[in-house]
Amino acid sequence: MRIGIGIDAHRLVPERPLILGGVTIPHELGLLGHSDADVLTHAIMDALLGAAALGDIGQHFPPSDEAYRDANSLDLLTCVMALLTDRGYRVGNIDAVIVAQAPKLAGYLPKMREILARVMAVDADRVSIKATTTEKMGYEGRGEGISAQAVALVEAVDD
């Protein structure tokens, strides 16, 4: 078994959709990024890549590459899963947290779990997603951005 950690953050801006864990959430602001800026999925991808010592998402999907402009992060997660499979790993479990003052996310967490579990080919009970605020402290608390952190456990697949 191997463990990895991932962290991502993006600025909130007008005229962008807010996508977290593959779910589009109604909000007046969305996350700015080269891809769809899904911080939750990005943090999970980095945790998975880290657990397998495969670098980070910037190495695999560089923002300088126009092929990834407006990319769907779930498609990128599918690519990460292929890398893990090629290296002989499968997902043991994921534990992630989204840090955002607004909008309220609790009602969307089950759908995020379902979508992410499906893409990672695991049961949803292996994917934990939580949301918290910073009590109005820091850039998340001021509504300037959203961040996410994730821990991934990957297991070697027996041949």
Please give the pLDDT value at position 101.
Answer: 97
Identify whether the C-beta of residue 93 lies closer than 8 Å to the C-beta of residue 113. no
Whether the model pTM is above 0.75: yes
Cα–Cα dist 140/132, whole Å: 10
Pick from 152, 23, 5: nearest CA to 81: 152
Residue 63 has pLDDT above 90, yes or no: no
Distances (CA, A) of 67 to 8, 25, 30, 60: 20, 25, 21, 12
- Helix (H) / strand (E) element for 73: namely helix 73-86
Q: What is the mean pLDDT of residues 117-141?
A: 97
Pick from 76, 36, 86, 70: nearest CA to 56: 76
Residue 9 has pLDDT above 70, yes or no: yes
Pick from 8, 16, 10: nearest CA to 45: 8
Please give the pLDDT value at position 159.
Answer: 59
The tens digit of pLDDT for each residue in 17-57 reads 999 999 999 999 999 999 999 999 999 999 999 999 999 99
**3.30.1330.50, 3.40.190.10, 1.20.990.10, 1.10.3720.10: CATH of 2-156:** 3.30.1330.50
Structural domain spans, the chain: 2-156
The tens digit of pLDDT for each residue in 68-110 reads 899 999 999 999 999 999 999 999 999 999 999 999 999 999 9
Please give the pLDDT value at position 28.
Answer: 97
The tens digit of pLDDT for each residue in 134-145 reads 999 999 999 999
Residue 59: count of CB within 10 angstroms of its CB = 9
Peptide linkage before 26 cis (omega within 30 of 0): no
* Residues 85, 89, 93, 99, CA torsion sign: negative
Cα–Cα dist 92/159, whole Å: 17
